Structure 1
Amino acid sequence: MGHAAFPVSAAGMLLGIRRVSVLMPGVIIFAVAFGAAASAKGLSLFETLLMSALVYGGISQLIALELWRPEWSWGGIVALAALTATVNARMVLQGASLQPWFAHYPKSLNAFHLFFFTDANWVIGTRYHTEGGRDLGVLIGAGLALWLVWILFTIPGHALGALMADPRRLGIDLVLPIFFAAMIVPLWRGKRAAVPWLVAGIVALVTSKLVDGYAFIIVGSLSGALVGAFTDDAA
């Protein structure tokens, strides 16, 4: 399947599953944390699984639960949609960084695999493409595997949340920073390449102190991207 120079193969999908397996423990804990939080907010198991399967937003799902209400107004729905869109906007930058690779494939195929595109997929895809890999099956296999695991382990998380009044007592609120810190380790390419990360982190922290909400995610990401662009030009 696919052009010879840009294939989509079963072997690539299996490679993607193998590569993403090292991140599975973190994803499993993440999924359990979401299931527990959803249960604590009063969502049924069916509603929780439906959200994991159709929204599949990871961190944005947890943030949405922070604002979850027993009753909703149109204003509340719009505010929640704007917030989750802001949080997920990082995926635009991540997808754009791999656009030269994706551009060789049909739009319908890109629309399919980008539904399963996550931060973990971006890490795997970036490293694989940098190494000279071109098989899109790697991203498809990794994405499908992560999606299935995310849905599956939402179930024990929901059961755990039903038994626990405050999931944060088990340190579930630490899952996100630990997970994302672990994901960037494979991208380490020396001190110079770490400058954009450092700038993004500092700008995000300062913005979070000065501006309410989640604007720090976008501001930090854009700052890091700009510094990275100038760093590459100077290299």
Structure 2
Amino acid sequence: MAISSSLHLLLLLFSLGIVASSATVFTLQNRCTYTIWPGTFSGNGVATLGDGGFLLAPGASVQFSVPPTWSGRVWARTGCNFDASGNGKCVTGDCGGLLKCPGGGEPPVSLVEFTIGRDASDKDFYDVSLVDGYNVGLGVKAVGGTGDCQYAGCVEDLNRNCPADLQVTDSGSVVACKSACAAFNAPQFCCTGDHATPQTCSPTQYSKMFKDVCPTAYSYAYDDASSTCTCSGSDYLITFCPN
């Protein structure tokens, strides 16, 4: 049987290692009791997921194919109001007043961060970060991969017990909890200046509070050892307000 020119080209590309491996699948699931507007940002320009931002109703989920080597972040925005052109404002996690985020979310905001490997044998790196503060609970579960494939997340609602000097309020309710860096802008909290190395920037009473409640999430800039997760060849379930 003759091989078509297109199939012949595909086989040639495979033999040269040019055809990329199958994409990683991200499933974003909203278990919050309210609507959120997830924001996404690609740090290396490989691809923008969901055009940078979209509405996700309570109980709803959405899937995205993520190409190899993708690196970026995902977060929830709350209390948003956008017009038909996608212009508006969010109470937390806002990104320039736009539905489709051109950059990262405004702190305080809980983040999921990813770097996807080159292929199924290469490691993916992922974490849930509270370095920029907290607004919504987050969880990341690896599905079908090999390796450590740890669960990363912050399941508890930190807004309930947020210290008064870190609180962000709206209409009398605490809607987000600032990082100590954002609240006080001091080197010991921001890991800057004389505190810009792992040896000189230690956990503070505020980062320890975050860590005690959410032990698998980044609590400050150099919290790598217990917060960075790895897995190979996996898909990922990203849950907002996990149980």
In which range does the TM-score fall when normalised by the shorter chain?
under 0.3
For the pair shown, the structure with the greater C-alpha radius of gyration is 2
Greater RCO, CA 8 A, separation 6+: 1
The structure with the largest helix share of the pair is 1
